[in-house]
Every structure is written in structure tokens, then in C-alpha cells.
Chains A and B, each alone.
Chain A
Amino acid sequence: MNVWNHAASFDAHRGSLRAWLLTSVRNRCIDYLRGRGGRERQERELQPEVAYALSPTDPWRDVALSLERTAVRDAMASLPAEQRQVIELAYFGGYTHAEIADMARVPLGTVKGRMRLALEKMGSYLRGRGLVDV
């Protein structure tokens, strides 16, 4: 509903509709996790009645999604471990760069640099694969 009520904030010049939707959902999830138990974030296993695969009503959609998923995963896997780690912690874990610097015991500038390099390398990789528009 947050996405629905803020639909007017979508700007096509800044990216695709799907990317905007996914980012919006991701941000809400991070906000939700931050609000539960304070700074402690736990992996929550989905309950069986929730975690079931999408019915493949459109096999072509699955093919397209599979191609994209593989490309993005390959891009992440191509990163050096320390760069991949900062992306995972920041984007999927919702940690700030200061928190990541503390956890990794490296300077804040190092974390920022790794973030920039990681995103640039992923962008170059994905553009080369031609499957994801970056």
C-alpha cells in the first residue's frame, strides 16, 4: 500500500518501474527489520504457508527472470570477497557504512571505496552480458 500511495514518486528517468518497486519493497523490509529488536537483525525463516514457489503460469516470464537472476548472481560472484561483502551487508542487510566499517574493522573510507568499486564492477559486468539494463 505504501508503494500504491506513493506511486506518483516514480520517476521513469531514474530507472525501470520494476527496479523502483523492488527498491521500495526492500527499503520497507529494512525499515521493518530495523524496528524489530532494535539493532539486532535476525534471519526470519518464512512459514511454510507463506514460502511456496510462484506457479509457473507464464513459462516465458520464468525464462526471462531466470536469465536476469543468473546474470546478477554471476555479477556478484565476480566481485572480490570484500566488495561483495559490503554490498550484501549494506543492501540486503540494511547496515550503514559506519556499522559495516565497525564489523569489518576497516576505515570508513575503505568501506565507501569498496562500495563504489563493487557497483562499478557489477555495472560493467551486467552491461557486458547485455541482459540487465544498467
Chain B
Amino acid sequence: MSDHEELESSVAAWVLGALDGDEAETVRSHTEGCPTCREVAAGLRRVVGALPLGVDEVGPPARLRERVLAAAVASRESPALPPAARAVIPRPKVPRPTSLAGVGRRMPAYTAAAVALIALLTGIVIGDVAFHAPQSPPASQVARFTLAGHQEMAGAQATVIDLKRDGLVLVDFRGLPPPGSGRVYEVWLIPAKGNPVRAAVFVPDSNGAKVVLVNQSVDGYTVMAVTNEAGPDGSQAPTQQPQLYGNVT
């Protein structure tokens, strides 16, 4: 086995933290100068980074949080604290308000309901629809939005949880009226320009509630809306004006 092969064979152990000091330093130094091993290490490191996620969480005592925060505040006085420590954490850009330019020219040959969805987008941009600003923890890896019901669905609402890191969305529906025999609710994602995209189909439970998993991110879309469609699979295009919708930017 060549030196490179020997070192490459140790990359997995290095990433797992299973090498002693000198050997770890040797592998670390090698990966810095070897694109192949560096790429291997990067891929394996992502998997190792997921390992702690499989462990049950245990809450720390309340006093621990107070102690840590107090120590952190005290450390600000210390010259050892890197002044740019917080600046290195990247934050995603907040998307700018959408523009309606070109929407009319590109309007697809859909039914009047599809036109209504695009008109809905207009209303949202004007500010006709109430929505909640996303509440983001540090690093903004999770965003929250609200869908509000109108007219016949005035009692309905939904909370949209955008799990950005995982590229999927959870939507918690409450207060939905029954869709009707043979009918389903269909979730649409609407871009600033273009056609509504089918996102999910579901039937609420007897309490009018449902948690729906949308297996894609809302990035690139402006609005999430829900219509009542024929079951069991919904429709390729919306067949009615939505009465439950909200901004997802």
C-alpha cells in the first residue's frame, strides 16, 4: 500500500476523531494538500456531523443557562474573544418583495381559477393578505409563516414551518371544514412569475386538522394556497379560487 493509500485509508478514522494526536495531525496535513482525500473527508464529515442527531435530547438545568450567559457576557471584556466571532456565521439574504412585471404577458392558458391565484399574488404584494414575518432562530434554518382563511374558510388557518436545511416544509392545518365527499384539499406553491405548482393533497381529520409534509422547499415561491379539488389525487391546475393562503417569503 502506497503512502497515499495508507493515509486515505485513515481519513474515516480521522473524521471520527479516532486517531491519536500525531497520526491525526499527519492525516490532517495530508488532506490539506490532497484534493482527493480532502473531498473524501468532507463527505464523511457531513455524515459524522449527523451522528449526534440520533441521540435523545436531555435538557440542562435552568441555572446552567444563566451561568453560561453570564460567563459569555463577562468574556466580552476579555481580549481573547475574537471580535468577529459572530460575523462569521452566515445569514441568508431576506428576499426582496416580488415584482408583477411580466406576469400578465406570461399568463398561462389555465382556467379562471388559475388566474385568480395569480390575482391573489397581486393582492398579497399590495398588502391585502395578513401574514406573519418568519421567526428565525440563529442561522435562519427554520422559517415560519401563516396561512389565513377567508370567506367560507374564514375559521381555518395553517402554520407553515420551512425546514430550510432539509428542503422540506411542514404545514399544520386547523379549523378546516370537510372538503366534501370525494373531494380533497390541494396545496399550491405560487412563484412570483409562472404557474402554480402542486405541492400536496390531503384530507383533514374529523377535527378539521392535518399536518402535511411538503417534500420541497418554499424557496423561490411567494405564496402558498389551498383549494378544494376532486379526489383522490386533486387537480393538475387549480379549479377554484383559493380561500386559504398566505405569503411564504
Quick check: is A103 within 8 A (CB to CB) of the other chain? no
Confirm or deny: A50 has a beta carbon within 8 angstroms of a beta carbon on chain B: yes
How far, in Å, is B61 (CB) from chain A's closest CB? Answer: 6
Neighbouring B residues of A16 by C-beta, 8 Å: 49, 139, 141, 165
A82 contacts chain B at the CB level, 8 A cutoff: no
Question: What range describes how many residues of A lie at the interface?
Answer: 35 or more
A98, A116, A119, A120 pick with most chain B CB within 10 angstroms: A119
Determine whether the beta carbon of B9 is less than 8 Å from that of A109: yes
Total B residues in contact with A, Cβ cutoff 8 Å = 60
Given A7-B88, A50-B60, A53-B59; A15-B49 close (CB under 8 Å): yes
Nearest CB in chain A to that of B69: its residue: A4
Task: Specify the chain B residue showing the minimal Cβ separation from A20.
Answer: B49
Could you tell me if B58 and A50 are in contact, using CB atoms closer than 8 angstroms? yes
Q: Mark A95-114, 1 if CB is under 8 A from B, else 0.
A: 11110100000000101110
| Known A8-B84, A60-B172; contact A115-B13, beta-carbon cutoff 8 A | yes
A1 with B18: CB separation less than 8 A: no
A window 83-99: CB within 8 A of B: 87, 90-92, 94-98
**B47: CB under 8 A from chain A?**
yes
The closest CB in chain A to the CB of B161 belongs to A60
List chain B residues, Cβ under 8 A from A22.
Answer: 49, 52-53
Task: Annotate B154-191 by CB proximity to A: 1 below 8 A, 0 otherwise.
Answer: 00000101010111101010000000000000000000
Q: Provide the main secondary structure of the chain A interface.
A: helix
Q: Which residues of B contact A61 (CB under 8 A)?
A: 142
Complex CA gap A116/B5 in Å reads 13
Question: What residues of chain A lie closer than 8 Å to B80, measured between beta carbons?
Answer: 5
Q: A20-B49, A51-B58 are in contact. List 11 more A-B contacts (CB 8 A).
A: A4-B68, A11-B88, A27-B17, A53-B58, A54-B58, A65-B53, A75-B50, A76-B54, A90-B18, A100-B18, A130-B166
